[in-house]
Structure 1
Amino acid sequence: MTSTTVLLADDHAMVRAGLAGLIDATDDLSVVAQAADGAEALAAVDRAAPDVVLMDLSMPGMDGVAATAAITAAHPHVRVVVLTSFSDQARVGAAVAAGAIGYQLKDAEPDQLLAAVRAAAAGHAPLDPRVASSLLPGTTTRSAVAMSPREVQVLRLVAQGRANKQIARTLGITERTVKAHLGSVFRRIGVSDRTSAAMWARDHLD
């Protein structure tokens, strides 16, 4: 069985040790690197090329949001799952905008966290239910934060003029999956074609 490799980024050594023990006790997941801040995490991704990064947000120096943005820009196939104590909409939105595919809270059950890592490795967007509620728009205005992290990534690439094949290659997913995400995005923002979606993205995404 091929093991999914994981990088742990957290400034607390005890947290990293606990997560490493949990992950390494499984048959299909393994920790290949650890980092105490965002800069270390970015360097560790360059060196270890993990499948998934579990990223804390509050760290000295380069924080988790900046590190997530740098990692997803340089390594689009690496899936970043935020693991933090914060569930407010501003932090969730910033992490998703930076490219995080998932968002989990540190008080999650161990099985939920392991499932989130596996889901992220498979290209899904594992969101803690308590976090998902904060992503729902509070008004009837159309809002990008109502989308999953992966849908936002696809929409950004559409806005850059990328074709489905290019998007699939960039994100490490199939063209069929890209088309499914686009269909969902079109329904969410109320458009029926790529040009309209790209125009919407330029107006609503930072």
Structure 2
Amino acid sequence: MSIGSKIQELQNDLPKSVTLVAVSKTKPVSDIQEAYDAGQRIFGENKIQEMASKWEVLPKDISWHMIGHVQRNKVKYMAEFVDLIHGVDNFKLLKEINKQAKKHDRVINCLLQIKIAEEDSKFGMSAEEATTLLASEAFQELENITIVGVMGMATFTDNLTQVQQEFRKLKDTFDSLQIIHECLEVISMGMSGDYQLAIEEGSTMVRIGNSIFGARNYHS
């Protein structure tokens, strides 16, 4: 099945309340263009400079999402165009995004990455840390960022009960944070292997790559 057909199938399959982020990391511009031609407008990348090089040559109505771990010294390379940064896991990073957004007279949307998995390799803050951040005076002073929701990555496991519990934890965290920060509306959770379960547990945004573009080639 072609990339375009897979995009259309997913768009028909997903509830209207769920946004599809096509994860195009490591994939060539031609693959992204094919997905674009099928109607997809939101693409996710996990390396800032790779995303910036694709932004330069692809249609300008694409909404670029940074879904990987973000290094503060590289924020400047995407501040001009990025639409949503998924992986904000500390206040220093938020301050840097705010600083770089201000240089371009923009307000950049961000998601707080909550650690829901047991794996040490996964980044993210605790629900308590997120609550403290959103309630702080220092956060209120940041005028060039908007926290619009939360993001989480489940443990890489075949144990669907565990994955379900981790997704549920993110939804519970979202609900509690929404009480103190009413403009939260995005719950970014679920990937190719578990997005249907994520949607059942309240996801409003899924990040799907392999099911669209096939397995990634990290050696090209």
- TM-score, with length taken from structure 1: 0.35
With a CA cutoff of 8 Å and minimum separation of 6, indicate the structure with the bigger relative contact order: 2
- TM-score, with length taken from structure 2: 0.33
- Bigger strand share: 2
